[in-house]
Structure 1
Amino acid sequence: MAEKGFHVADYVVFGLMLLISAAIGIYHGCTGGKQRTTNEYLLGNRSMKTFPITMSLLASFFSAITLLGVPSEVFTYGVQYNVLILSFFLITGTAAIIFAPIFYGLHLTSAHEYLELRYSYGVRKLGCFVFVVQYLLYLSVVLYAPSLALKAVAGVPLATSIISTGVVCTFYTTLGGLKAVVWTDVFQAVVIVIGLITVFIVGTINVGGLGKVWKINKQRGRLNFFDFDPDPTVRNTFWTLTIGGAFSLMLPWTVSQAAVQRFLASESIKTAQRSLWLSIPGLIVVVTLCCFDGLVIFAVYADCDLKESGKVTSNDQVLPYFVIDKLGGLNGVPGIFMACLFSGSLSTASSGLNSMITVVLEDLVKKRWTNLSDYNATNISKMLAVVFGVVMTCGAFTIQYFSTLVLQLVHSMFGIISGPLLGIFLMGVLFPRANYKGAYLGALTGFIFTLTIATCGMIYPPDKKAGDISIKGCKFYNSTLYLNQTIDGIISKPFVPHSEPLAKLGSLSYLWYCATSVFTTIVVGVLTSLLFERNNDRQNRPRPELLFSIPQFFKSLFCCQKEKSSSDENSYLSIQLHNKEKGRSKDETVQLKEINRLDM
């Protein structure tokens, strides 16, 4: 690693970021309603404006995994990954047009409450379990990634950075609730953008200008933006990134509690939808900045690969190494960068903590103790925050035993675990005859099939088509060993295909895992629902507003009746009962009836 390290100014800047985050939690814990009710603690009194919701959505997405993983991906494989920005339009459209109106219109608190209304309470518990497991694993990676970077660039022990970050995140989430999470996300989003721009500008100047950065990357084959190869085994292609990437990232933006809680915290459905659409430019800017940072770093070290020279042990460390190596002389700049990384982790971790608290409270605790007072429910929420914070922090220590790049690890994790959950939600919305039997078997099949593919990929690693690297600028290049193994200092590592039959299955690109899981869940789920459908299943089919809360054009694609059915009045009575349980006013119920009338 680099010989340079953190200056006192860097520690001051980094510590200041942690203090401001904690102060926001203290402020929201001591003002307003002081987080004494579950409505304020978990949903911000359902009164959040467009700006904080938009910024919170952005900050929650841009964890240290994105900030470390995307530059590493571009450094290793090329700028093709930037095509992923096209998938944001499909993801945001799905969330804004389909799911946000459904969740907001039903006045839910937990996203999985929809699964009970649509299928059964058992499916709701399944959704809760899958979400908590997936997010505990995800947040463990989120905490580990920046801690590894801090250890690499400043020599800070891994345990120290993981524990300190976990404690600060747990502290302000426990004390300040969703309002603290959202407004801390706003502050941290600003820090993230400042850090990325700083790296890009200073790095470009160091190389000798943007033109030279572009020229070096083009010579080394890292500017292939559009590869239209339809082969799903190729790591990054146009189709893999736009379609496969859309499915990989769809759950965190559509039906995960982290996203749904922001829809529900908005002051109106229009605010939620506006926030989603306004997040697209921010997503594009930050991902593009991360990609360009990767190009800049590659240009700087193009003639002496960092990993081959022993400067880093993993390409996930190239960005923090660059910051210390090239910006270490500017006191405070490395501190800004590390604050940027940890801001991304804090925003994602706090959002995840708050979401897990909500689903466990709503899906399990309140179902078990139906007469639980709001005061006690709020206290239980705060205790859950502490428990999950401890589990998440402990889990971060186990991630060091995985050798995969963090970006691929997270996408694979989302595909295997959250793919079946997304499939259940989509099946419930798109197929009126889907039932709980199909949901169970579909989710189980989707999980097993995708896990099998991922396992085969680990046992028989596919050709990742990494770009060539060079060592001709390294001091050790003239050694006999390297002279005999390279041509003009360029190292190419040819791939030797596996002969085992299962190797072909494992060659599927990790970005297709989630799509594979979703479609397997839906196909098996729908077929199972039709095969084991009973006569009374049709009579007890879920009411219309559980199936669709979208324009008539989309409904007509999925065999929904345009005419009002005779069961509409019974559906309205069901809404009244549900709204009474959720605390909705009579006026809100009338408004929802009108919305459903227009939608039908």
Structure 2
Amino acid sequence: MGEPSIAGDDPAKHFGTIDYLVFTIMLAISTGIGVFYGCFGNRQKTTKDFLMGGRTMGLIPVTLSLLATFFSAIALLSVPAEIYLNGTIYMMMAPAHFAVMAVSAYLYLPVFYNLQLTSTYEYLEMRFSKSVRILASFAFTVQMVLYQSVVIYAPALALSQVTGINLYGCVTTLFAIVIFYTSLGGIKSVMWTDVVQIIVMFGAMIVVLVKGGMDLGGFGNIFQIAYDDGHIKYFDFDPDPRTRQTTWTLWIGAFFMWLAVYGVNQAQVQRYLTLPTIRQAKIAIWLNGLGRFVLLVLNILTGLVLYAKYSKCDPLMTKRIRTTDQILPIFVMDTLGDFKGFPGLFVAGIFSGALSTVSSGLNSLASITLEDYVKYFYPNINDARATNISKLASVLYGLLSFGLVFIAERLGGIFDVSFSIFGMVGGTLLGVFNLGMFVPWCNSKGAFWGTLTSLVFMLWLGIGTALANSGKRGVSKLILSVEGCSNYTAPATNFLNQPVESHEISEFYKISYYWYALIGCCVNMLVGTVVSFLTGNQDPRDLNPQLISPPWDKFITKFVPLHIRQKIFWDLGANINTDHHKSQKYAGNHELGKINGKS
């Protein structure tokens, strides 16, 4: 019997004229917003406007932009596929999300907001040294450039093979559009296109859910199918760190991974600082947490719909698709392919996620390039030239990300790759900010060597894991079958459910990538603290109090006895409470590096 073809080989399943029209309208809206903010008025003539929106953005666009920045195609394609393969345990990430929002809003945000920074890495120079700042910003640059190439290539590949859209033509068009409106309109165009794109993304998911639920007899029937097959599962307390998804990995590991994003990531913090008050910034973070929870629920429901549809005729086993990232697109073509315009809406939603992530990344990279590199060599650069350099940086980073697409196509599924990237680099960056805000004895040597050691260690772990598992298929914990397929003969073995031969891979390289951020953070803080005390630790009394997280200082002041605080030289709280004028003088001062007591 012949091998079934993927849906993309069937002309009946390809995009129609109306689908292309819907897709084109979405791209045109994004482009139009960039033209509006880039060509009308004087709104993007200064770096403050181009990079920070004049620090006068509204609560709603900032909230939706925060949600869209790391929503991307991962949430739309890979998370439902994850639920399809491994059940509903992914829902256990919800408590971690809300904990991240609380910690980000009350421990990290006050430091960045009170200092009114443009680049989060300015903080590292104020607290430590220029070398620490450059090392951290370089790590972030590598992280974002690579991530941007993955986040556009992966959905383009999934959709091209299912809908028939030309892969490289699609990637080229998307990069051209996102580079254009980001470099022309600055952060205002980025955030307002995010608003449009997040609406399209949610609309696409809701359409898929409604139609899928109707076709499969309602969600009561869908839940019953999943429950009968053991697909509904929320708790797994396996302590083995090699187990990819457990309650512990999703409660603890995911907490640190997302804290690295919402607590200290430039793309997110930059958005917080576009709001006029810290109260609004905190509200935006909490509203974003609520939005992420709604998104998570939609993803879970979508994954269950996919399972009810394909559990007895898995499209990966029948080779209708080549990767699990394509299972949602094939579902859309199977169930909505006859409804003109709906596949176009779905594709628009997928690429809205990709565009929002890349545009946010380009703008954040432009910010750190100007603040961390250009101004280092040209500290007195005039504002007009600085704005033009920021726009040029957006273009160059976009072209670099486009060039790396050809590497991204060799990295594997976007779910594992994206989480690994953020875990490897994000945990290291979280660690160095933690050293600055919570360990006042850490000096610049400790911060530098802690960051470098953590970065090298995590790259060794991440790249080694990728190489060790190269060519090996993912493993589903659940049994999928083809017994419900018509005109198909199953192979002798079910490769999707066959475990990988464990003796071929070092146990070290089996650690779940959910733990990467925690490991990277701990390595950085441990090495940084030890090196600091070996080389002459920082005297906390010489630090600007606003470089330390205010709630942490209040906690120490309230609960640690005075005689212990005196022994460890912790009198920051006294400085803040008794010298209000001095504290206010520090706020927003970008020359703090001169008084931070560098070692």
1:350 aligns with 2:359: yes
For 1:113-155, what per-residue CA distance to the aligned partner results, in whole angstroms no more than 9, with x for missing partners?
0000000011111111011110001111111122112312221
Which residue does the alignment assign to 1:24? Answer: 33
Once residues 532 and 572 of structure 1 are traced to their aligned partners in structure 2, the CA distance between those partners, rounded to angstroms, is 33
For 1:83-130, what per-residue CA distance to the aligned partner results, in whole angstroms no more than 9, with x for missing partners?
112111121112100111111101111100000000001111111101
Q: Where do residues 91-106 of structure 1 align in structure 2 (5 Å cutoff)?
A: 91-106=100-115
Q: Does the 8 Å contact 2:261/2:426 carry over to 1?
A: no
Which residue does the alignment assign to 1:531? Answer: 534
Q: Does the 8 Å contact 2:121/2:136 carry over to 1?
A: yes
**SS of structure 2 residue aligned to 1:265:** coil
Amino acid at match of 1:358: S
Shift of 1:528: 1.0
Q: Does the 8 Å contact 2:476/2:497 carry over to 1?
A: no
**SS of structure 2 residue aligned to 1:498:** helix
Q: Does the 8 Å contact 1:152/1:321 carry over to 2?
A: no
1:309 aligns with 2:318: yes
Which residue does the alignment assign to 1:143? Answer: 152
1:115 aligns with 2:124: yes
For 1:562-593, what per-residue CA distance to the aligned partner results, in whole angstroms no more than 9, with x for missing partners?
75249986x966964774658xxxxxxxxxxx
Amino acid at match of 1:470: S
TM-score, length-normalised on structure 1? 0.90
For 1:325-358, what per-residue CA distance to the aligned partner results, in whole angstroms no more than 9, with x for missing partners?
2110000000010010111111111111000000
Shift of 1:229: 2.3
Q: Does the 8 Å contact 1:75/1:295 carry over to 2?
A: yes
* C-alpha distance 533-491 of structure 1, shift in aligned 2 (>3 A): closer
Contiguous gaps of at least 5 residues in structure 2: 1-5, 592-599
Which residue does the alignment assign to 1:414? Answer: 422
* C-alpha distance 223-519 of structure 1, shift in aligned 2 (>3 A): same
Shift of 1:550: 2.6
Amino acid at match of 2:204: G
Once residues 576 and 344 of structure 2 are traced to their aligned partners in structure 1, the CA distance between those partners, rounded to angstroms, is 65
Once residues 274 and 397 of structure 2 are traced to their aligned partners in structure 1, the CA distance between those partners, rounded to angstroms, is 22
Q: Where do residues 167-178 of structure 1 align in structure 2 (5 Å cutoff)?
A: 167-178=176-187
Which residue does the alignment assign to 2:508? Answer: 505
Which residue does the alignment assign to 1:247? Answer: 256
* C-alpha distance 580-357 of structure 1, shift in aligned 2 (>3 A): same
Shift of 1:257: 1.0
For 1:253-292, what per-residue CA distance to the aligned partner results, in whole angstroms no more than 9, with x for missing partners?
1111111111110011111011001111110111211121
* C-alpha distance 566-350 of structure 1, shift in aligned 2 (>3 A): closer
Q: How high is the sequence identity, in percent, across the aligned residues?
A: 38
Which residue does the alignment assign to 1:516? Answer: 519
Once residues 356 and 30 of structure 1 are traced to their aligned partners in structure 2, the CA distance between those partners, rounded to angstroms, is 22
Once residues 172 and 216 of structure 2 are traced to their aligned partners in structure 1, the CA distance between those partners, rounded to angstroms, is 37
TM-score, length-normalised on structure 2? 0.90
Bigger mean CA deviation after superposition, 142-151 or 270-279: 142-151
Which residue does the alignment assign to 1:437? Answer: 445
Q: Does the 8 Å contact 1:235/1:465 carry over to 2?
A: no
Once residues 494 and 220 of structure 1 are traced to their aligned partners in structure 2, the CA distance between those partners, rounded to angstroms, is 20
Shift of 1:203: 1.0
Q: Does the 8 Å contact 1:101/1:550 carry over to 2?
A: no
For 1:287-334, what per-residue CA distance to the aligned partner results, in whole angstroms no more than 9, with x for missing partners?
211121111112111111111111110001101111112110000000
Residue number among 441, 445, 460 corresponding to 1:452 in the alignment: 460
For 1:518-551, what per-residue CA distance to the aligned partner results, in whole angstroms no more than 9, with x for missing partners?
11111111111111116xx427742111012336
Shift of 1:220: 2.8
Which residue does the alignment assign to 2:543? Answer: 542
Q: Does the 8 Å contact 1:416/1:514 carry over to 2?
A: yes
Bigger mean CA deviation after superposition, 10-19 or 507-516: 507-516
* C-alpha distance 141-554 of structure 1, shift in aligned 2 (>3 A): farther
Q: Does the 8 Å contact 2:136/2:451 carry over to 1?
A: no
Q: Where do residues 553-564 of structure 1 align in structure 2 (5 Å cutoff)?
A: 553-556=554-557, 560-561=570-571, 564=574
Once residues 454 and 517 of structure 1 are traced to their aligned partners in structure 2, the CA distance between those partners, rounded to angstroms, is 11
Q: Does the 8 Å contact 1:143/1:162 carry over to 2?
A: yes
Which residue does the alignment assign to 1:300? Answer: 309
Once residues 241 and 355 of structure 1 are traced to their aligned partners in structure 2, the CA distance between those partners, rounded to angstroms, is 28
Residue number among 370, 393, 398 corresponding to 1:389 in the alignment: 398
Q: Does the 8 Å contact 2:204/2:346 carry over to 1?
A: yes
Which residue does the alignment assign to 1:287? Answer: 296
**SS of structure 1 residue aligned to 2:165:** coil
Residue number among 54, 59, 74 corresponding to 1:65 in the alignment: 74
Q: Does the 8 Å contact 1:303/1:470 carry over to 2?
A: yes
Q: Does the 8 Å contact 1:460/1:498 carry over to 2?
A: no
**SS of structure 2 residue aligned to 1:401:** coil
* C-alpha distance 153-121 of structure 1, shift in aligned 2 (>3 A): same
* C-alpha distance 297-33 of structure 1, shift in aligned 2 (>3 A): same
Once residues 389 and 220 of structure 1 are traced to their aligned partners in structure 2, the CA distance between those partners, rounded to angstroms, is 45
Once residues 361 and 228 of structure 1 are traced to their aligned partners in structure 2, the CA distance between those partners, rounded to angstroms, is 46
Residue number among 202, 219, 225 corresponding to 2:234 in the alignment: 225
Amino acid at match of 2:432: I
**SS of structure 2 residue aligned to 1:303:** coil
* C-alpha distance 211-121 of structure 1, shift in aligned 2 (>3 A): same
Shift of 1:458: 3.5
Q: Does the 8 Å contact 1:455/1:506 carry over to 2?
A: no
Contiguous gaps of at least 5 residues in structure 1: 583-600
* C-alpha distance 331-472 of structure 1, shift in aligned 2 (>3 A): same
Bigger mean CA deviation after superposition, 409-418 or 573-582: 573-582
Q: Where do residues 366-381 of structure 1 align in structure 2 (5 Å cutoff)?
A: 366-381=375-390
Pairwise CA RMSD: 2.3
Bigger mean CA deviation after superposition, 21-30 or 211-220: 211-220
Once residues 565 and 494 of structure 1 are traced to their aligned partners in structure 2, the CA distance between those partners, rounded to angstroms, is 59
1:83 aligns with 2:84: no
Once residues 210 and 566 of structure 1 are traced to their aligned partners in structure 2, the CA distance between those partners, rounded to angstroms, is 56
1:235 aligns with 2:244: yes
Which residue does the alignment assign to 2:477? Answer: 466
* C-alpha distance 208-565 of structure 1, shift in aligned 2 (>3 A): closer
